[in-house]
Amino acid sequence: MDSSEKVVAVIMVGGPTKGTRFRPLSFNTPKPLFPLAGQPMVHHPISACKRIPNLAQIYLIGFHEEREFALYVSSISNELKLPVRYLKEDKPHGSAGGLYYFRDIIMEDSPSHIFLLNCDVCCSFPLPSMLDAHIKYGGMGTMLVIKVSAESANQFGELVADPDTHELLHYTEKPETFVSDLINCGVYIFTPDIFNAIEDVSTNREGRANLRRLSSFEALQSATRILPKDFVRLDQDILSPLAGKKKLYTYETNDFWEQIKTPGLSLKCSELYLAQFRYTSSHLLASGDGEKNAKIVGDVYIHPSAKVHPSAKIGPNVSISANVRVGAGVRLIGCIILDDVEIKENAVVINSIVGWKSSLGRWSRVQADGDYNAKLGITILGEAVTVEDEVVVINSIVLPHKILNVSVQDEIIL
């Protein structure tokens, strides 16, 4: 790529109408700021963007309140020495409509290429190599794809690509019958021509709406079928119609990929990112032999402000956030411990997420089977939950501000 050409990155972060499946963890923090491997969810795609050559700017687009992102955007801009800006939609415009809504701002630097990423995707984000492939293909857009099991493919956008040219030939979102084991990863790169394609959808939709304004009865009948002209979905409205027209191409990754739909999957993704830190950010991983510091097993992140007793045993796959206090003899396996949690002596936490300001008593036990896809496959304690001494909590979800003085199993505590 010519060194004078600029690239911008756009990360879609959604808003409060989304993320309902992420409750109770999304009650007091926006889902994009929920920590995975000790870093906010959105931090992982942002830090991946840092590797893109000639990157001029990163934009976060969503309809969360600006104040919720202000502090994070300021700190990440300083940390990466790169401008990161949050753009708030007035209402949901769809994955392509949101991009179009802010087209003038996105094009301020006259970028030759625009990356578009979804915040709730967990992968290694091979963005520089994807850019190289995109330039070689010479199309309007390139999408990251991955092969999955035939049984799980219909949960995602399935596609067919030419095995030699990698052109996208067919795309269908969550089909009822099997189309392909190749799915859309939710990571794209486009030329600015994408804005013309989105505008065409809006114009055509407006034209169809005008044609149908024949009677109030027909308008009522069609109201449920016609989307607002400024609500444009990337998958159904752009990818499907343009497939097979030599405009869209695919870039396949063989690395890890997961969509972060639920708290259970966030625990799995935290594990994936911790494993990736071995190769990308080994300085973030804790170490200890159980003498001066706690014994560390496998991949573990511990925030510098956390206090962990030397006799504790931590890991594998544990993330400990700010101001956490871990007592003597505590055992932690496969868990996310959020800010300001206290875990007292000899407590055990396995396959669980412990919410902000919660407290686990002596010899208490918080655990689950570890089935990331099951509704109660991991145990979740909401904010400020107290588990008293010797109480056992198994395969349960506990909403914020509860005090548990008796043991529970397979329950949702409202």
303 and 180 housed in the same domain:
no
185 and 171 housed in the same domain:
yes
Question: What CATH number does the domain containing 218 carry?
Answer: 3.90.550.10
Cβ atoms of residues 352 and 366 within 8 Å:
yes
Q: How far is CA 371 from CA 195, 256, 298, in A?
A: 41, 18, 20
253 and 288 housed in the same domain:
no
Instruction: In whole angstroms, give the CA distance from residue 92 to residue 61.
Output: 10
SS3 167: strand
Does residue 2 lie in a domain region?
A: no
Q: How far is CA 95 from CA 12, 15, 101, 198, in A?
A: 7, 12, 10, 11
Domain boundary among 261, 286, 318: 261
Please say if the pLDDT value at position 93 is more than 80.
yes
Instruction: In whole angstroms, give the CA distance from residue 125 to residue 103.
Output: 24
Question: What is the rounded average pLDDT of the residues 397-413?
Answer: 95
Does residue 170 lie in a domain region?
A: yes
Query: Tokens standing for 178?
Result: 């099997």
269 and 254 housed in the same domain:
no
How many other CB atoms are found less than 10 A from the CB of residue 17?
Answer: 9
177 and 71 housed in the same domain:
yes
Reference 399, options 412, 387, 410, 408; nearest CA is 412
Write the DSSP symbol of residue 155.
G
Does residue 16 lie in a domain region?
A: yes
136 and 201 housed in the same domain:
yes
State residue 215's pLDDT score. 46
19 and 153 housed in the same domain:
yes
Instruction: In whole angstroms, give the CA distance from residue 198 to residue 95.
Output: 11
pLDDT band, very low/low/confident/very high, at 172 (cuts 50, 70, 90): confident
Question: What is the rounded average pLDDT of the residues 257-280?
Answer: 93
298 and 233 housed in the same domain:
no
268 and 255 housed in the same domain:
no
Question: What is the rounded average pLDDT of the residues 142-161?
Answer: 88
Cβ atoms of residues 255 and 126 within 8 Å:
yes
**Boundaries of domain holding 278:** 264-413
Question: What CATH number does the domain containing 387 carry?
Answer: 2.160.10.10
Residues near 144 by beta carbon (within 8 Å), at least 6 away in sequence: 123, 126, 130, 184, 185, 186, 187, 188, 250, 251, 252, 253
Does residue 332 lie in a domain region?
A: yes
Instruction: In whole angstroms, give the CA distance from residue 173 to residue 186.
Output: 12
Instruction: In whole angstroms, give the CA distance from residue 200 to residue 300.
Output: 49
State residue 220's pLDDT score. 46
pLDDT band, very low/low/confident/very high, at 11 (cuts 50, 70, 90): very high
Please say if the pLDDT value at position 393 is more than 50.
yes
* Among 63-67, 131-135, 250-254, 272-276, the least confident range: 63-67
Residue-wise pLDDT for 31-53, tens only, equals: 899 999 999 999 999 999 999 99
Does residue 350 lie in a domain region?
A: yes
Query: Tokens standing for 65?
Result: 């309140």
Reference 128, options 39, 54, 42, 40; nearest CA is 54
Question: For the chain, what is the domain count?
Answer: 2
Q: Which residue has the tokens 């902000």?
A: 356
pLDDT band, very low/low/confident/very high, at 211 (cuts 50, 70, 90): very low
Please say if the pLDDT value at position 254 is more than 70.
yes
pTM for the full predicted model: 0.90
281 and 387 housed in the same domain:
yes
Query: Is residue 24 reached through a cis peptide bond, with omega within 30 degrees of 0 on the bond before it?
Result: yes
Amino acid at 173: E
231 and 340 housed in the same domain:
no
Please say if the pLDDT value at position 176 is more than 80.
no
Instruction: In whole angstroms, give the CA distance from residue 325 to residue 333.
Output: 16
257 and 330 housed in the same domain:
no
Please say if the pLDDT value at position 20 is more than 70.
no
Domain boundary among 261, 277, 292: 261
Cβ atoms of residues 335 and 353 within 8 Å:
yes
Does residue 1 lie in a domain region?
A: no
State residue 224's pLDDT score. 42
Domain boundary among 261, 278, 296: 261
Does residue 78 lie in a domain region?
A: yes
State residue 205's pLDDT score. 66
Strands 182-190 and 113-118: antiparallel
